[in-house]
Amino acid sequence: MILTDTHTHQYYETDPVKRETLMQRCLASGIERLFLPNVDSSSIELVMSQAKTFPDNCFAMLGLHPCDVKASWQDELSAIGRAIPQHKIYAIGEIGIDLYWDKTFLKEQMEAFKMQIAWAKKLKLPIVIHCRDAFDEVYAVLQQEQDEDLRGIFHCFTGTLEQAQKVIALGFYLGIGGVVTYKNAGLDKIVQQIDIKHLVLETDSPYLTPVPHRGKPNESSYLIYVAQKVADLHQISLETVAATTTENSKIVFGV
């Protein structure tokens, strides 16, 4: 059984011994593939060092997170743009729009999102989207930009069934994480109604820790709880969830 964490910031752990321990815990639970989204210029080296340390298990992506689109966003974007040709990456991410924390830079967030979509198209890479309190804005951009090259993942999907269907109709995958294990979040009922051929799994570690470890920092080895929950909701085996969602991740990332 091979599970794929399509979205983890495990690279924030920089202690080599702890990094190795985290990776060993993943491998012990069958979590053999970890995709690492960048957030800003200062995390490029963190992402790349983790990917270099575990070349068989960790895969890098680069992008500017919408929460990091602030006054100096153009400098940030050009630093990331310069780094991209120097590294092997598997997606542009995480990118998108976040209106939960701050609406000040909405215009700039939209612009940065579109510019990075253009990079992805040029490089024939998928995009990994961060969308919080901004579904309509993100969806409008995707509709405009849709073409045969644009594809990717809606990371940490927590929307409605109707929104899920819109995402699927665009050919995107839904990234399902720890929120599916939260009793009152309602995501379980949505996931139950979606064919797993449209799903990929993620932890978003160190955030959004699944039950039964909710309240503690998240780590990629906890992906097993997300996978088990999806298996329970669909009344299928954990092995089937692992095989299908890993296959989906291979289609998206090409690896």
Binding site for Zn ion (CB under 5 A): 204
Residue 207 CB, shortest distance to Zn ion, in Å, is 7
**Smallest Cα–Cα separation from 38: which of 49, 26, 47?**
47
* Residue 177 beta carbon to Zn ion: minimum distance, rounded to whole angstroms: 9
Q: Which is nearer to Zn ion, 209 or 233 (CB)?
A: 209
Of the pair 65, 234, the CB lying nearest Zn ion is at 65
Q: Name 211's Cβ contacts closer than 8 Å, sequence gap at least 6.
A: 178, 181, 182, 183, 225
**Exposed e or buried b for every residue in 161-187, given b needs 16+ CB within 10 A?**
eebbebbbebebbbbbbbbbbbeeeeb
* CA distances from residue 215 to 178, 188, 202, 211 in whole angstroms, order as listed: 12, 19, 17, 9
**CB nearer to Zn ion: pick between 67 and 142:** 67
Whichever of 188 and 204 has its CB closer to Zn ion, that residue is: 204
Smallest separation, CB 96 to Zn ion (Å): 10
Distances 10 to 17, 97, 174 between C-alpha atoms, Å: 13, 22, 21
Minimum CB distance to Zn ion, residue 94 (Å): 5
Largest Cα–Cα distance of the chain, in whole Å?
Answer: 49
Shortest approach of Zn ion to residue 243 CB, angstroms? Answer: 25
Facing residues of 132 across strands?
98
Residue 156 beta carbon to Zn ion: minimum distance, rounded to whole angstroms: 7
Nearer to Zn ion, 47 or 230 (CB): 47
Describe the strand order of the beta sheet including 127-132 as a list of residue ranges: 92-98, 127-132, 152-154, 173-176, 199-201
Q: Which is nearer to Zn ion, 98 or 204 (CB)?
A: 204
